[in-house]
Amino acid sequence: MGGAGQADVEGGELSDQPWGGRFGEEPDPLIDRFTRSLAVDSRLYREDIAGSRAYAKALVGAGVLTAEEQLRIDLALQEIQSEFSPPPFTGEGRVGAASNPPPLAGEAASYPPPLAGEGTVGASEDIHMAVEDRLRQKLGPLGGKLHTGRSRNDQVAVDLRLYVKTAGAQLIDAVSGLESALIARAEEHLDTVMPGYTHTQRAQPVLLAHHLLAYVEMLHRDRGRIQDALNRADVSPLGAGALAGSGFPIDRTALAHELGFAAAAANSLDAVADRDFALELLAACSIAMVHLSRLCGEIVLWTSVEFSFAALPDALASGSSMMPNKKNPCAAELVRAKSGRVAGDLMNLLMVLKGLPLAYNRDLQEDKEALFDGVDTTIVCLQVAARLVLGLQFDRDLMRTAALSGYTLATEAADYLSRKGLPFRDAHRVVGQMVARGIATHQGLEDFSLEELQQFSPLFSADVFDYLTLEGALKSRDVLGGTAPARVKEALARVKA
């Protein structure tokens, strides 16, 4: 025991680490810095204190604390909560700072924690020790009773589940914000026609409202996925101890309910080792981000000179440092890119968990940066996307003109011939020949005279011109989920309700 240059003490008063009793050497500074997590997990201080307050009550039930002791602990924990808001810790030990702005005004603004300025308990290894160290400063030996029958393994698991429940609610709020923005714009554009695309080639006319409501459907599923993740996260690991279950008669179910969980985890090993609730939330975030990347990718296309379907107000765009002509949709581009970042966060956590033997492993400390980053990124991107959607200035006339060019009524002509009895395959070939002629003679299908149309098929009669218009084309898509104006109005009413 005790290498040269290191203090060599038996019986372990040497280190102020919680495990000092067994250790005869001071921690190596590099290893010490490397293993700390306070700079990342300090944002869990509220969850940690909530967990501890509930746990102290459970310790009264277990006969470990008197009611008077529990009250003193509770008051001290409440004081610590105000002292820690925002967390006063240094950024020591921090590897890689998160580059997201705080997701929401108010409390979340304390993240990332300040890098400078010694805090009162800056030496603590993680947020759990920071709270406990401060408690012991305040209460002396009584503060040391709180951890009876508890491990940081069940403690960090409960903190993280409480965090997921809060974060999930914030995510759902942000999803709702974007849904409302899309719905408001759809309502405004119930009669704006645009080309619908396949292969990024003009295909058939659709209503802009229909296009925007497609994103509302995606977001609705995203909300469902987040809610599912929250339902499965709603289980309390507290009382599982380090891995085998607490050695004190904790009423785990009452404790779970005290913390607002639906139930207590059924298996102590699973309780401390499981992080699939975090994976699930990150998976839901990743899928939502893929949706945002598609929306923002379209905003980039639409605001290009090539499309010119929409413009962004100056306040929502950025300029170029060199080219005075530029107005760039930078925020939309960044949302598109950050979808990759969140998918990376999901991969990060999947790889942390892969192959880990039961139960707790220190690897699990690495869950937080990925989870926090994924959630923060998704929330801010949802907010940014909502702002962009609300700001888009659509050029209705240009979109309408674009909707008609590219022979987008060809399917209407083929459907017309089919309704007159021609097998669809033959109708498709006939109209294909009409399109080829139109390209050669620079005419749209709607520009052909009845006589010209009849050269392609005698089945054409004067009523064909009712179909060869944008309004006719839209009206004919009159099925559930189609772009017929009446159907889109119905869909809008449904999503509003």
Q: Where on the chain is the footprint of ligand ARG (CB under 6 A)?
A: 37, 41, 126, 152-153, 156, 360, 364-365
Closest-CA residue to 53 (of 155, 169, 157, 168) = 155
**How far apart, in whole angstroms, are the C-alpha atoms of residue 248 and residue 239?**
9
Spot the catalytic one: 199, 321, 442, 449: 199
Q: Are 484 and 475 in contact (CB under 8 A)?
A: yes
Q: Which is nearer to ligand ARG, 126 or 258 (CB)?
A: 126
Q: Which is nearer to ligand ARG, 147 or 341 (CB)?
A: 147
**How far apart, in whole angstroms, are the C-alpha atoms of residue 92 and residue 248?**
36
Furthest C-alpha separation in the chain: 106
Spot the catalytic one: 85, 304, 320, 461: 320
Give me the least distance between CB of 272 and ligand ARG, in Å please: 9
CA 494 to chain centre: 25
Q: Which is nearer to ligand ARG, 355 or 458 (CB)?
A: 355
**How far apart, in whole angstroms, are the C-alpha atoms of residue 293 and residue 340?**
9
**How far apart, in whole angstroms, are the C-alpha atoms of residue 435 and residue 424?**
16
**Beta strands of 354-476 (E only): which ranges?**
393-394
Which residue in the block uniquely carries the two structure tokens 């967990």? 51
Q: Kindly tell me the sign of the dihedral angle through the C-alpha atoms of 281, 287, 293, 294.
A: negative
The angle at the Cα of 301, spanning 346 to 380, to the nearest 5 degrees, equals 40
Q: Count H helices and E strands in the chain, helices first.
A: 19, 6
Give me the least distance between CB of 159 and ligand ARG, in Å please: 9
Give me the least distance between CB of 21 and ligand ARG, in Å please: 14
Give me the least distance between CB of 153 and ligand ARG, in Å please: 5
Q: Are 17 and 23 in contact (CB under 8 A)?
A: yes
Q: Which is nearer to ligand ARG, 156 or 171 (CB)?
A: 156
Residue 378 neighbours by CB under 8 Å, 6+ apart: 171, 174, 285, 288, 289, 342
Give me the least distance between CB of 367 and ligand ARG, in Å please: 7
Give me the least distance between CB of 154 and ligand ARG, in Å please: 10
Q: Which is nearer to ligand ARG, 196 or 239 (CB)?
A: 239
CB count within 10 Å of CB 186 equals: 26
Task: State both tokens at 214.
Answer: 């497609």
Give me the least distance between CB of 146 and ligand ARG, in Å please: 15
Task: State both tokens at 150.
Answer: 């508890």
DSSP string, 105-152: SSGGGG-SPPSSS--TTTT-SSHHHHHHHHHHHHHGGGGGGTTTT--H
Give me the least distance between CB of 132 and ligand ARG, in Å please: 12
Q: Which is nearer to ligand ARG, 32 or 333 (CB)?
A: 32
Q: Are 476 and 412 in contact (CB under 8 A)?
A: yes
Q: Which is nearer to ligand ARG, 129 or 287 (CB)?
A: 129
In the residue annotation, 304 being an active-site residue is answered as no
In the residue annotation, 320 being an active-site residue is answered as yes
Q: Which is nearer to ligand ARG, 63 or 357 (CB)?
A: 357
Active-site residues: which are they? Answer: 199, 320
